[in-house]
């Protein structure tokens, strides 16, 4: 029954050497669940698998956990993996809890710069909160921006801007920052850029299209004010 649960019915007579890496990992899960544990601990279970197989096996582990109603503690250093399999995530830093919450909470409402940078890619830009409250007024370089969010303290802070929220254009617009493209790569499902600006290096991810901007080209960086988050400096 355990092998059937993990999709390996009929494989019981095979030797470990006759199984693929993904099948071996599923056998390990089967051996654990036949004991009917109250809590299932998985410690880096997919670390020896290639990227495509990791995605496939983690989906299977998640489906088994939900189907059996098990509480599972899943230890991983892969942020994408953690977000894909978890109802709640605990991020540890120096043996202390840095933040706990749902994947959405940690991604969209990071408590500090460490979490913002650790859960998904993030651009962290130094700004000054000039008027805390709701909304919040900040100074970015020589520009005053009003953000539709709540802050509680004036002074230095960091603006969190996700790469897929970056808007690139050849034409300047209000609140845009001039930038030079220092790296450009078409990856099939996305286009990635590294940009040199007055506020430092910015990483941007664009739609999957042939490279519209080339290395060495001058562009303008924009972003929606609704997409900005703030964390302590």
pLDDT in tens, 161-205: 999 999 999 988 877 899 999 999 999 889 999 999 999 999 999
pLDDT band of residue 54 (cuts 50, 70, 90) is: confident
Residue 139 and residue 42 share a domain: no
Q: Spell 38-51 as b/e; 16+ CB within 10 A means b.
A: eebebeebbeebee
- 112 located within any domain: no
Residue that finishes a domain, picked among 68, 87, 106: 87
Q: Which domain holds residue 29?
A: 2-87
| Residues, the chain | 233
Highest-pLDDT range among 31-35, 38-42, 60-64, 106-110: 106-110
Across the range 86-114, mean pLDDT stands at: 95
CA distance 229 to 158: 8
Q: Choose between 116 and 24: higher pLDDT.
A: 116
- 95 located within any domain: no
- 71 located within any domain: yes
pLDDT in tens, 220-232: 999 999 999 999 9
CA distance 173 to 189: 28
Q: Which residues pair with 144 in a beta bridge?
A: 139
Q: CATH number, domain at 28?
A: 3.40.50.300
pLDDT in tens, 134-153: 999 999 998 999 999 999 99
pLDDT of residue 108: 94
> Does the bond joining 135 to the residue before it have cis omega, within 30 degrees of 0?
yes
- Phi and psi for 125 in degrees, rounded to 5? -115, 130
CA distance 56 to 180: 39
Across the range 54-58, mean pLDDT stands at: 82
pLDDT band of residue 1 (cuts 50, 70, 90) is: low
**Of residues 138, 118, 122, the one with CA closest to residue 130:** 138
CA angle 100, 6, 102 (to 5 degrees): 15
pLDDT of residue 64: 82
* pTM given for the model: 0.82
Q: Which tokens in the block code for residue 99?
A: 């933040």
Q: CATH number, domain at 172?
A: 2.40.50.140
Total structural domains in the chain?
A: 2
pLDDT of residue 67: 84
CA distance 179 to 120: 23
């Amino acid at each position: 029954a355990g092998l059937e649960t993990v999709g390996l019915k009929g494989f019981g007579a095979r030797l470990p050497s006759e199984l693929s890496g993904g099948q071996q990992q599923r056998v390990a899960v089967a051996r654990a669940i036949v004991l009917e544990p109250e809590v299932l601990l998985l410690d880096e279970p997919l670390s020896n698998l290639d990227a495509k197989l990791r995605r496939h096996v983690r989906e299977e582990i998640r489906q088994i956990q939900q189907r059996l109603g098990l509480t599972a503690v899943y230890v991983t250093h892969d942020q994408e993996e953690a977000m894909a399999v978890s109802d709640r995530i605990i991020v540890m830093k120096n043996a202390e809890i840095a933040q706990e919450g749902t994947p959405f909470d940690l991604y969209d409402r990071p408590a500090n710069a460490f979490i913002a940078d650790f859960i998904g890619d993030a651009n962290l830009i130094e700004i000054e909160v000039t008027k805390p409250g709701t909304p919040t007024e900040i100074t970015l370089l020589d520009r005053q921006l009003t953000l539709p969010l709540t802050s509680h303290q004036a002074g230095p802070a960091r603006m969190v801007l996700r790469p897929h929220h970056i808007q690139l254009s050849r034409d300047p617009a209000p609140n845009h920052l001039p930038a030079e493209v220092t790296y450009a790569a078409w990856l099939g499902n996305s286009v990635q850029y590294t940009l040199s600006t007055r506020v430092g290096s910015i990483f941007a991810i664009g739609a999957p299209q042939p490279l519209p901007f080339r290395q060495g080209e001058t562009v303008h960086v924009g972003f929606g004010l609704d997409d900005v988050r703030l964390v302590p400096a």
